Amino acid sequence: MDPYENTARLLMALEQQLRAHGLWQDESPDEDALASTLPFAVDTLSCAEWLQWIFLPRMHHLVAERLPLPTQFSIYPYAEEAAKLTPALVGVLPVISDLDHWLGGAIQ
């Protein structure tokens, strides 16, 4: 399978799971929240917000432009920890695990 097609499929699955678990937002956080320089924007965004407003757009851009995909990739530990505070994230963890596996070394 084409690595970009599979990545796009996983990103779509992530969005679907965020929506299915009531974590998708209609309104973007303010610019200051999105401008955080900390990993995962932990100081300004929830995990679900970071996934929706930062991670997904950046990854869709890489796929659309066929730019190099990340190979040193691990967001599952962060999402798993965040799920302790936001139980709805538990339903999203399987697709995040799939992304970690795929982008963390499975791409051939």
pLDDT tens per residue, range 58-82 = 999 999 999 999 988 899 999 999 9
- pLDDT at residue 104 in the model: 85
Does the pTM surpass 0.95? The reply is no
- pLDDT at residue 73 in the model: 86
- pLDDT at residue 108 in the model: 47
The residues of the chain scoring below 70 in pLDDT are 106-108
Q: Is 22 helix (H, G, I), strand (E, B) or coil?
A: coil
- pLDDT at residue 26 in the model: 96
> Looking at the domain 3-106, which fold is it?
de novo design (two linked rop proteins) (1.20.1440)
Of 42, 47, 97, the closest CA to residue 73 belongs to 97
Q: Which two tokens stand for residue 49?
A: 């917000």
